[in-house]
Protein backbone atom coordinates (compact mmCIF):
# COMPACT_ATOMS: atom_id res chain seq x y z
CA UNK A 1 0.00 0.00 0.00
CA UNK A 2 1.00 3.60 -0.59
CA UNK A 3 -0.05 6.16 1.99
CA UNK A 4 0.56 9.88 2.12
CA UNK A 5 -0.85 13.32 1.59
CA UNK A 6 -0.36 16.69 -0.04
CA UNK A 7 -1.11 20.29 0.85
CA UNK A 8 -1.11 23.33 -1.42
CA UNK A 9 -1.80 26.12 1.02
CA UNK A 10 -0.42 28.74 -1.34
CA UNK A 11 -3.16 28.07 -3.91
CA UNK A 12 -6.05 27.71 -1.48
CA UNK A 13 -8.95 30.05 -2.22
CA UNK A 14 -11.08 29.12 0.80
CA UNK A 15 -11.89 32.40 2.61
CA UNK A 16 -12.28 30.66 5.97
CA UNK A 17 -11.59 27.24 7.38
CA UNK A 18 -14.15 24.49 7.71
CA UNK A 19 -15.47 23.66 11.17
CA UNK A 20 -13.35 21.33 13.28
CA UNK A 21 -16.04 20.64 15.89
CA UNK A 22 -19.66 21.65 16.58
CA UNK A 23 -19.81 25.23 17.77
CA UNK A 24 -21.75 24.10 20.82
CA UNK A 25 -18.68 22.18 22.01
CA UNK A 26 -16.18 24.88 21.12
CA UNK A 27 -14.35 25.37 17.86
CA UNK A 28 -11.52 27.89 18.43
CA UNK A 29 -8.92 28.81 15.86
CA UNK A 30 -5.78 26.77 16.38
CA UNK A 31 -3.55 29.73 17.24
CA UNK A 32 -5.92 31.02 19.87
CA UNK A 33 -6.34 27.51 21.29
CA UNK A 34 -2.58 27.04 21.46
CA UNK A 35 -2.24 30.34 23.31
CA UNK A 36 -4.85 29.29 25.87
CA UNK A 37 -3.19 25.88 26.24
CA UNK A 38 0.22 27.46 26.88
CA UNK A 39 -1.33 29.63 29.61
CA UNK A 40 -3.16 26.74 31.25
CA UNK A 41 -0.06 24.55 31.14
CA UNK A 42 2.16 27.29 32.54
CA UNK A 43 4.44 27.41 29.49
CA UNK A 44 6.18 30.78 29.52
CA UNK A 45 6.91 33.03 26.56
CA UNK A 46 10.63 32.52 27.22
CA UNK A 47 10.37 28.73 26.94
CA UNK A 48 8.41 29.04 23.70
CA UNK A 49 10.93 31.39 22.11
CA UNK A 50 13.85 29.19 23.17
CA UNK A 51 12.19 26.08 21.73
CA UNK A 52 11.36 27.84 18.45
CA UNK A 53 14.92 29.11 18.07
CA UNK A 54 16.19 25.59 18.71
CA UNK A 55 13.93 24.12 16.02
CA UNK A 56 15.18 26.55 13.38
CA UNK A 57 18.81 26.08 14.38
CA UNK A 58 18.57 22.29 14.26
CA UNK A 59 16.69 22.23 10.95
CA UNK A 60 19.05 24.71 9.28
CA UNK A 61 22.08 22.75 10.45
CA UNK A 62 20.58 19.45 9.28
CA UNK A 63 19.61 20.90 5.90
CA UNK A 64 22.99 22.51 5.33
CA UNK A 65 24.76 19.26 6.21
CA UNK A 66 22.64 17.35 3.68
CA UNK A 67 20.68 15.54 6.36
CA UNK A 68 17.37 15.87 4.51
CA UNK A 69 18.72 15.11 1.03
CA UNK A 70 17.76 11.42 0.93
CA UNK A 71 14.14 12.14 1.84
CA UNK A 72 13.48 15.24 -0.29
CA UNK A 73 12.22 14.98 -3.88
CA UNK A 74 13.17 18.05 -5.98
CA UNK A 75 10.26 19.93 -7.53
CA UNK A 76 11.39 22.12 -10.41
CA UNK A 77 14.18 24.33 -9.15
CA UNK A 78 13.29 23.73 -5.50
CA UNK A 79 15.68 21.13 -4.11
CA UNK A 80 15.68 21.88 -0.38
CA UNK A 81 13.41 23.22 2.30
CA UNK A 82 13.34 26.98 2.09
CA UNK A 83 11.79 27.90 5.44
CA UNK A 84 14.39 27.17 8.18
CA UNK A 85 15.98 30.45 9.23
CA UNK A 86 19.61 30.73 10.21
CA UNK A 87 20.37 33.22 12.95
CA UNK A 88 16.84 33.25 14.37
CA UNK A 89 17.80 33.94 17.96
CA UNK A 90 15.80 34.10 21.16
CA UNK A 91 16.46 37.84 21.30
CA UNK A 92 14.95 38.35 17.85
CA UNK A 93 11.95 36.19 18.68
CA UNK A 94 11.39 38.11 21.91
CA UNK A 95 10.67 41.27 19.89
CA UNK A 96 7.61 39.79 18.20
CA UNK A 97 4.15 40.65 19.46
CA UNK A 98 1.65 37.95 20.43
CA UNK A 99 -0.26 36.95 17.31
CA UNK A 100 -3.54 35.58 18.68
CA UNK A 101 -4.22 37.32 22.02
CA UNK A 102 -2.86 40.66 23.30
CA UNK A 103 -0.10 40.42 25.86
CA UNK A 104 -2.32 42.18 28.41
CA UNK A 105 -4.76 39.26 28.10
CA UNK A 106 -2.01 36.70 28.62
CA UNK A 107 -1.07 36.13 24.98
CA UNK A 108 2.37 34.59 24.45
CA UNK A 109 2.21 32.78 21.09
CA UNK A 110 3.81 34.72 18.23
CA UNK A 111 4.39 34.16 14.55
CA UNK A 112 7.91 33.07 15.48
CA UNK A 113 6.72 30.32 17.82
CA UNK A 114 4.09 29.07 15.36
CA UNK A 115 4.49 26.65 12.47
CA UNK A 116 4.62 27.88 8.90
CA UNK A 117 1.67 27.52 6.53
CA UNK A 118 3.42 25.54 3.84
CA UNK A 119 2.98 23.57 0.66
CA UNK A 120 4.27 20.03 0.92
CA UNK A 121 3.73 16.36 0.24
CA UNK A 122 4.96 13.08 1.68
CA UNK A 123 4.39 9.39 1.07
CA UNK A 124 5.35 6.04 2.56
CA UNK A 125 5.07 2.44 1.41
CA UNK A 126 3.48 -0.16 3.68
CA UNK A 127 4.15 -3.86 3.06
CA UNK A 128 3.28 -7.09 4.85
CA UNK A 129 5.91 -9.08 6.73
CA UNK A 130 6.35 -11.69 3.98
CA UNK A 131 6.97 -9.00 1.36
CA UNK A 132 9.46 -7.29 3.66
CA UNK A 133 11.41 -10.52 4.15
CA UNK A 134 11.43 -11.13 0.39
CA UNK A 135 12.72 -7.64 -0.34
CA UNK A 136 15.45 -7.97 2.26
CA UNK A 137 15.68 -4.24 2.99
CA UNK A 138 15.61 -2.44 6.36
CA UNK A 139 12.46 -0.67 7.44
CA UNK A 140 10.13 0.19 10.29
CA UNK A 141 7.73 -2.25 11.91
CA UNK A 142 4.49 -0.71 13.17
CA UNK A 143 4.13 -1.84 16.78
CA UNK A 144 1.03 0.14 17.72
CA UNK A 145 -1.24 2.99 16.68
CA UNK A 146 -3.82 4.96 18.62
CA UNK A 147 -6.35 7.72 18.09
CA UNK A 148 -7.78 9.73 20.98
CA UNK A 149 -10.12 12.60 21.65
CA UNK A 150 -9.82 15.56 24.04
CA UNK A 151 -11.65 18.81 24.76
CA UNK A 152 -11.96 20.53 21.35
CA UNK A 153 -11.18 23.83 23.07
CA UNK A 154 -7.67 22.52 23.77
CA UNK A 155 -7.00 20.48 20.63
CA UNK A 156 -3.23 20.70 20.93
CA UNK A 157 -3.31 18.20 23.80
CA UNK A 158 -4.78 15.50 21.59
CA UNK A 159 -1.46 13.83 20.92
CA UNK A 160 -0.88 13.17 24.64
CA UNK A 161 -3.51 10.44 25.24
CA UNK A 162 -2.85 9.05 21.76
CA UNK A 163 0.86 8.70 22.50
CA UNK A 164 0.15 7.20 25.93
CA UNK A 165 -2.23 4.63 24.45
CA UNK A 166 0.16 3.71 21.61
CA UNK A 167 3.06 3.26 24.02
CA UNK A 168 0.91 1.12 26.31
CA UNK A 169 -0.17 -1.09 23.41
CA UNK A 170 3.46 -1.46 22.34
CA UNK A 171 4.52 -2.32 25.87
CA UNK A 172 6.96 0.59 25.99
CA UNK A 173 7.56 3.69 28.07
CA UNK A 174 8.72 7.16 27.09
CA UNK A 175 12.19 6.30 28.33
CA UNK A 176 12.43 3.41 25.85
CA UNK A 177 12.12 5.69 22.84
CA UNK A 178 15.18 6.53 20.76
CA UNK A 179 13.55 9.01 18.34
CA UNK A 180 10.51 11.19 19.00
CA UNK A 181 8.79 13.23 16.31
CA UNK A 182 5.90 15.38 17.57
CA UNK A 183 4.32 17.75 15.09
CA UNK A 184 5.46 21.22 16.13
CA UNK A 185 2.29 23.18 15.43
CA UNK A 186 3.17 25.72 18.14
CA UNK A 187 6.09 25.80 20.54
CA UNK A 188 3.80 26.30 23.52
CA UNK A 189 1.64 23.37 22.47
CA UNK A 190 4.61 21.01 22.02
CA UNK A 191 6.05 22.02 25.39
CA UNK A 192 2.69 21.53 27.11
CA UNK A 193 2.48 18.04 25.60
CA UNK A 194 6.05 17.23 26.62
CA UNK A 195 5.29 18.30 30.17
CA UNK A 196 2.15 16.14 30.23
CA UNK A 197 4.09 13.14 28.91
CA UNK A 198 7.06 13.71 31.27
CA UNK A 199 9.17 13.92 28.12
CA UNK A 200 12.31 16.06 27.97
CA UNK A 201 11.76 18.51 25.05
CA UNK A 202 15.42 18.17 24.09
CA UNK A 203 14.59 14.63 22.91
CA UNK A 204 11.90 15.85 20.49
CA UNK A 205 12.56 16.68 16.80
CA UNK A 206 16.34 16.67 17.21
CA UNK A 207 16.76 17.72 13.56
CA UNK A 208 14.13 20.45 13.75
CA UNK A 209 10.41 20.17 13.30
CA UNK A 210 7.37 21.93 11.86
CA UNK A 211 8.23 25.26 13.51
CA UNK A 212 11.18 25.42 11.14
CA UNK A 213 10.13 23.14 8.29
CA UNK A 214 6.45 24.05 8.13
CA UNK A 215 3.20 22.19 8.65
CA UNK A 216 1.57 21.21 5.32
CA UNK A 217 -1.55 19.87 7.02
CA UNK A 218 -2.49 17.14 4.57
CA UNK A 219 1.06 15.76 4.52
CA UNK A 220 2.31 16.29 8.07
CA UNK A 221 1.47 12.83 9.40
CA UNK A 222 3.44 11.13 6.63
CA UNK A 223 6.27 13.64 7.10
CA UNK A 224 6.66 12.51 10.72
CA UNK A 225 7.03 8.89 9.62
CA UNK A 226 9.56 9.79 6.94
CA UNK A 227 11.53 11.60 9.64
CA UNK A 228 11.45 8.49 11.83
CA UNK A 229 12.64 6.37 8.90
CA UNK A 230 15.54 8.70 8.16
CA UNK A 231 16.74 8.72 11.75
CA UNK A 232 16.10 5.12 12.81
CA UNK A 233 16.86 3.31 9.56
CA UNK A 234 19.20 5.53 7.55
CA UNK A 235 21.10 7.01 10.49
CA UNK A 236 20.74 4.01 12.82
CA UNK A 237 19.83 6.05 15.89
CA UNK A 238 18.35 3.28 17.97
CA UNK A 239 15.43 0.89 17.84
CA UNK A 240 12.13 2.54 18.82
CA UNK A 241 10.40 5.68 17.60
CA UNK A 242 7.21 7.62 18.26
CA UNK A 243 5.34 9.91 15.88
CA UNK A 244 2.36 11.88 17.16
CA UNK A 245 0.20 14.75 15.96
CA UNK A 246 -2.70 16.77 17.31
CA UNK A 247 -5.68 17.56 15.10
CA UNK A 248 -8.21 20.38 15.12
CA UNK A 249 -11.45 19.43 16.83
CA UNK A 250 -9.74 17.74 19.76
CA UNK A 251 -8.14 14.68 18.20
CA UNK A 252 -4.74 13.05 18.45
CA UNK A 253 -3.02 10.30 16.48
CA UNK A 254 0.14 8.40 17.38
CA UNK A 255 2.24 5.53 16.08
CA UNK A 256 5.06 3.55 17.70
CA UNK A 257 7.56 1.87 15.37
CA UNK A 258 10.57 -0.40 15.64
CA UNK A 259 13.54 -0.53 13.31
CA UNK A 260 13.81 -3.91 11.63
CA UNK A 261 16.12 -5.52 9.10
In tens, the pLDDT along 100-134 reads: 999 999 999 999 999 988 899 999 999 999 999 99
Kindly report the number of other CB atoms within 10 A of residue 208's CB atom: 25
Q: Among the listed ranges 50-59, 68-77, 160-169, which one has the minimum average pLDDT value?
A: 68-77
pTM: 0.95
In order of 67, 177, 208, the CA distances from 236 in angstroms are 13, 13, 18
Tell me the pLDDT tens digit for each residue of 228-252.
999 999 999 999 999 999 999 999 9
Give pLDDT, residue 107: 97
Closest Cα partner for 155 from 238, 223, 86, 252? 252
Tell me the C-alpha distance between 258 and 81, whole Å.
27
Q: DSSP assignment of the chain, as one string?
A: -EEEEEE-GGG---SSPPPSS-TTT----HHHHHHHHHHHHT--HHHHHHHHHHHHHHHHHHHHTTTTGGG---BTTB-S---PPTT--HHHHHTSPBSSS-GGGT---BGGGB-----EEEEEE---HHHHHHHT--EEEEEEEEEEE--TTSGGGGHHHHHHHHHHHHT--GGG-SEEEE--SBHHHHHHHHHHHT--GGGB-TT--HHHH---TTTHHHHHHHHHHIIIIIS---SEEEEEEEETTTEEEEEEEEEE-
Kindly report the number of other CB atoms within 10 A of residue 134's CB atom: 10
Tell me the pLDDT tens digit for each residue of 176-213.
999 999 999 999 999 999 999 999 999 999 999 999 99
In order of 62, 220, 239, the CA distances from 234 in angstroms are 14, 20, 12
Beta strands 240-247 and 251-260: pairing type? antiparallel
Give pLDDT, residue 133: 93
Tell me the C-alpha distance between 200 and 158, whole Å.
18
Which residue ranges form the domains of the chain, and what is each CATH number?
Answer: 2-6+25-260 (3.40.47.10)
| C-alpha atoms less than 13 angstroms from C-alpha of 79 in its C-beta half-sphere | 4
Amino acid sequence: MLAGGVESASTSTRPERAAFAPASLGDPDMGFAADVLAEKAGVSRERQDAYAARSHALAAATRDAGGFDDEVVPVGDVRRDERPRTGLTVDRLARLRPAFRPAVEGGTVTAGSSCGVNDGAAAVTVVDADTHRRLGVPGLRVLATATAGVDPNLPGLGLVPAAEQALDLAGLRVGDLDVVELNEAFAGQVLACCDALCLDPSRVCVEGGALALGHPWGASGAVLLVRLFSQLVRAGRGRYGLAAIAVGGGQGVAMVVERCR
